Amino acid sequence: MEKLIISGGKPLRGTVQISGSKNSALPIIAATLLTSEPCTIRGVPNLSDIQFMSDILRWLSVDVKHHRADGVIEARAQQPLGVAPYELVRKMRASVCLLGPLLARLHNCKVSMPGGCVIGDRPIDMHLKGLRRLGAEVVLENGYIHARCNELTGTDVFLGGRFGSTVLGTANVMMAATLAKGTTVIESSACEPEVEDLAEFLVKMGAKIKGAGSHIIEIEGVEQLHGAEHTIITDRIEAATFMIAAAITHGDVEIKGARPEHLWAVREKLEDAGVTVERTNGTVRVKSDAAWQPVDVITMPYPGFPTDMQAQMSALMTVTPGISVITEKVFPNRFMHISEMSRLGADVSLEGSSAIVKGVKRLSGAPVMASDLRASAGLVLAGLAAEGETEVNRVYHVERGYERIDQKLRALGANIERVAE
């Protein structure tokens, strides 16, 4: 295994290019199972999660070619198998989005339950409810979801949950509905840009979809889909992470490829904190040369402040004078990074689903342990601001969602290196 060694205190300056969206790429790659014709996906980031999904498709007898250097995946599912085993699915929770396309294509499939998640309970009951509404018989046995049907039939499906809409649940039901007979209306669907991107790819394949990006999506089923080419959107979470990296180091960074329309909530909170955010076509520039102000943050489903940016925002608030309150409304237990930030000198206390952050004058470098993808990003940002040397262990977590993050930060002037543990 490897770790990141960061010597903090250096302002980031320069330009960084944002990679394609992991959360968009994974369900789009799964959607290639809906047709026997070849599909080409461009702008795919070179990440471990992408490799895991490619490996699962190969297991399912899909012809997959992953051109990592070019960011291209070519896939052709002529005669896919219908069983996704635990040995592969356990590595990545997003593999549950194979369920919808496999059921729609084969009418009989088994996908291993994805297992637990360190950031909190992430049940898939809404996925199963939606597929049952379309006419599938769904049985949980021996750790597998076994779904079968004679045919899928369009209907109304409500996907609202306790903590908001389900993104992968929306993707699963939408993919299944493309080949169902009749019209499906998904109410309380997720509005995330990644859902819109998946819908755009499905439409290119011949699907009939209206309303993606809103809380009501209408899908008119078709008899079959065909191959298509698609370039995925850039990663809004990576872009927002570099926005906060620029801020926490008092830097000046131009973020190329960022989609400003996907970043409103993060931009607003940074501006409230006293950070300068400028937008142009395809570029966001972040400058921070003044004292920050404390802010209160509540994570919510899109277009609210993203839960995937909670740890990074927490890092900034640890060195912001005053008291900030960060409330987690999507995954209330998603605070495992707090104890590690405390090792760097952060003053944070937890009260239920809220973190009370008292800004300190400085953080001090120390060894820390990443618990999950976004927690690792938050610890990297804290290390960039800390005095002295910070070791971020379990770097494989950050590699799940950030392409070459150490190289990109180093190009901006950060003192960061990757070494063997």
- CATH value at residue 65: 3.65.10.10
pLDDT of residue 120: 47
**Do 56 and 148 have their domain in common?**
yes
Nearest Cα neighbor of 311 from 277, 281, 339, 352 is 339
pLDDT of residue 115: 56
Contact 249, 11 (CB under 8 A): yes
Which residue range(s) make up the domain with 14? 2-18+234-420
Could you tell me the two tokens for 340?
Answer: 């590690």
Nearest Cα neighbor of 131 from 150, 110, 152 is 152
Strand 83-84, strand 108-112: pairing: parallel
**Do 168 and 275 have their domain in common?**
no
The residue type at 153: T
pLDDT of residue 122: 52
**Do 414 and 292 have their domain in common?**
yes
Q: What is the mean pLDDT of each run of 10 residues along the chain (421 residues)?
A: 94 98 97 98 96 95 96 97 89 88 97 63 81 96 93 96 87 98 97 98 98 98 98 98 98 96 97 94 89 96 96 98 96 91 97 96 96 94 98 92 97 96 76
Rounded Cα gap, residues 25 and 30, in angstroms: 9
Last-in-domain residue among 180, 206, 231: 231
pTM value > 0.85: yes
pLDDT of residue 163: 73
**Could you tell me which residues are beta bridge partners of residue 391?**
5, 367
pLDDT of residue 113: 86
**Do 250 and 356 have their domain in common?**
yes
3-state secondary structure 248-263: HCCCEEEEECCCHHHC
Could you tell me the two tokens for 203?
Answer: 């439409």
**Do 222 and 256 have their domain in common?**
no
The region that residue 170 occupies, defined by phi over 0 for left and psi between -120 and 50 for alpha, beta otherwise, is: alpha
**Do 290 and 213 have their domain in common?**
no
**Do 290 and 393 have their domain in common?**
yes
* Cα distance between the two ends of the chain: 6
**Do 203 and 249 have their domain in common?**
no
**Do 192 and 245 have their domain in common?**
no
Radius of gyration over alpha carbons of the chain, in Å?
21
Per residue in 18-49, is it b (16+ CB within 10 Å) or e — as a string? bbbbbbbbbbbbbbbbbbebbbbbebbbbbbb
The string of pLDDT tens digits covering residues 353-412 is 999 999 999 999 999 999 899 999 999 999 999 999 999 999 899 999 999 999 999 999
Q: Which residues are identified as catalytic? A: 117
Domain count of the fold of the chain:
2
Last-in-domain residue among 231, 252, 279: 231
**Do 321 and 220 have their domain in common?**
no
Q: How many CB atoms lie within 10 A of CB 293?
A: 14
Per-residue DSSP letters for 237-290?
HHHHHHHHHHHHTT-EEEEET--GGG-HHHHHHHHHTT-EEEEETTEEEEE--S
Residue 156: enclosing H or E segment and its boundaries?
Answer: strand 156-158
Last-in-domain residue among 208, 231, 254: 231
Whole-Å CA distances, 59 to 27, 42, 79, 82, 318: 17, 22, 12, 10, 45
Contact 410, 10 (CB under 8 A): no
DSSP letter (8 states) at residue 366: -
Strand 72-76, strand 63-67: pairing: antiparallel
> Which strands, in side-by-side order, build the sheet including 137-141?
83-84, 108-112, 144-148, 137-141
**Do 367 and 263 have their domain in common?**
yes
Could you tell me the two tokens for 186?
Answer: 């998904």
**Do 281 and 374 have their domain in common?**
yes
